[in-house]
Structure 1
C-alpha cells in the first residue's frame, strides 16, 4: 500500500489517472476528523450571529439555503464582459497550458453544493453554488512535478485580486469555480461569469470575476 506522501508524489509527477486515488484514499479521510470538531449549525441558525465566526469551525450540513434576495455584497459589484470573447486561462506548471470559453466551462460535469460565505463583521449567507471541479480540469490538462499551490486571479487593474490555495484543498474540491448560485446564472454583482468558491475560507478569498488559474510548483 502506498502512503500519503507517495500518492501525492505520483499525482504531481504523472498528473492524469491518479486524482481519484489520491483525493479519496489519502485526503478525504482527514475531512471527517476535522468536521467532527465543528459546531453543528441547525437548519434555521441565525446568519447574523455567524459574521464573526471562522467557517473552519462550523458544520453547515443542516443549514438551509439562503434566498438570493438576502445575499449582500462587498467590494466590486460590476465587471461587464463580452461573454463570446471571454476566456479562462490555465497556466503555470501544467503539461498543456489552455484557454477555455464560457461555454467550455459550463458544459463540464457539474459540481454543486451548499457552501457558507462569511464576510467578516458584515454578513453571512449559505448559497447553493453550481460550477465545476478545478481538480478534474487540472487532471485532464496534466500537472508537472512539484506542484504545491494553485493561484486564482480576478480582473486586472486597480481592482485586481489574486488568492492562493494548497493543491490539497483543490484536489479535495473544497476550492472550486462557480457559474451559478441558487439555480440561477451567477449575477454580475456576485461574480459573473465565474466566481471562486473557497470552503472554510472567509469571503475575501472568494475571488469574483475569476479569469485565470496559475499552477505553482517548487
Structure 2
C-alpha cells in the first residue's frame, strides 16, 4: 500500500522542481504560441507520468466521521440565477432530468429517483481547492462508470463532458456557462460519483444541488456542480474555448490530478 504513495511523492517532487525552473521564464512562455504548446505538452507529460506511476484504480484517502469539516465553504457559483436552474429549484428539482448523450448507444434521461436507484457509493474525502484550502465531507452518489455502461459508450468516445446549470461569466460567445471534462480513466475510477447527498443530507444548493461530480483524485475546480447533462465526446476542442473546461479556458490546467 505504501509504494504508490512513495512514487507519488517522488513524482510531485520532480514536477515541483521542474515547475520552479520554469517560473522565471513564465511570461515569455505564455506570451507565445510555442510557449503555450510547450505548457500543454508538459501537462500531458504530467498526466502520463502519474498514470504510469500510480495505479489507475488507487483510491484517494478516505477519512472518518470525526474528520468531517465543521465548515465546508462553498465557492464558485453558490446560487445560480440562470432561468432554467431557478425553475428547477423552485419546484424542489421535481422536474429535474439528467441527460446522458453524445457518443453513446442508448441516450438516457434520468430523474433524481432514477439516479438514487443506480449503483452508488458513499465516501468521506478531502476537497483540495486550487486556492489553497481543503475541507472534508461525506458524499453519496451514483457511480459514474455503471451509468456510462448503461448508456453504452461508442468506441470513439474518449472524454466525458459535464454541462452545468450555472453561468459564471456573461460572454457574447456563450463561453461563460460552466462545463468540465475528464477522461475515461477518471470516469471509471471507483470513487468517481455523481453526488446527490452531502454529510447524510440532501445536497445543498451552495454545494451543487441537485447533482455534482466528485472525482476525488482531482483538484476542486474539476468537481463540477449543478450538472444538467453528461456528454460523451471524442475530443473537446469544439466546446467553450476548446480547452476542456470553464477554468481551463481561462488558463488552468486540464489535468488536475493529485
The alignment of Structure 1 onto Structure 2 pairs a total of residues equal to: 172
What corresponds to 1:93 in structure 2? 103
State whether structure 2 residue 160 is matched by structure 1 residue 150: yes
Q: Extract unaligned runs of 5+ from structure 1.
A: 1-30, 40-55
* SS of aligned partner of 2:158: strand
Q: Of 94, 110, 121, which residue of structure 2 is paired with 1:111?
A: 121
- Of Structure 1 and Structure 2, which has the larger fraction of its residues in helix? 2
Name the CA distance, whole Å, in 1 between partners of 2:142 and 2:60: 23
State whether structure 2 residue 104 is matched by structure 1 residue 77: no
Superposition RMSD in Å = 2.7
1:61 CA displacement: 3.6
Moved more, 184-193 or 174-183: 174-183
Q: Counterparts of 1:1-218 in structure 2 under 5 Å? A: 34-38=4-8, 60-61=61-62, 66-67=67-68, 69-79=70-80, 80=86, 81=89, 82=91, 83-155=93-165, 157=167, 158=169, 160-217=177-234
Please report the TM-score for the alignment, with normalisation by the length of structure 2.
0.59
1:65 CA displacement: 5.4
Larger radius of gyration: 2
Whether the aligned pair in 1 keeps the contact of 2:121 and 2:191 (CA below 8 Å) is no
Whether the aligned pair in 2 keeps the contact of 1:35 and 1:59 (CA below 8 Å) is no
1:60 CA displacement: 2.8
Instruction: Report which structure shows greater RCO (CA 8 Å, sep ≥6).
Output: 1
Deviations 1:153-188 (A, max 9, x none): 111544621111110111123432100111111111
Q: Extract unaligned runs of 5+ from structure 2.
A: 10-49, 81-85, 170-175, 236-258
- Of Structure 1 and Structure 2, which has the larger fraction of its residues in strand? 1
* SS of aligned partner of 2:177: coil
Moved more, 147-156 or 57-66: 57-66
Please report the TM-score for the alignment, with normalisation by the length of structure 1.
0.69
Name the CA distance, whole Å, in 2 between partners of 1:182 and 1:137: 23
Name the CA distance, whole Å, in 2 between partners of 1:146 and 1:32: 36
Whether the aligned pair in 1 keeps the contact of 2:159 and 2:181 (CA below 8 Å) is yes
* SS of aligned partner of 2:119: coil
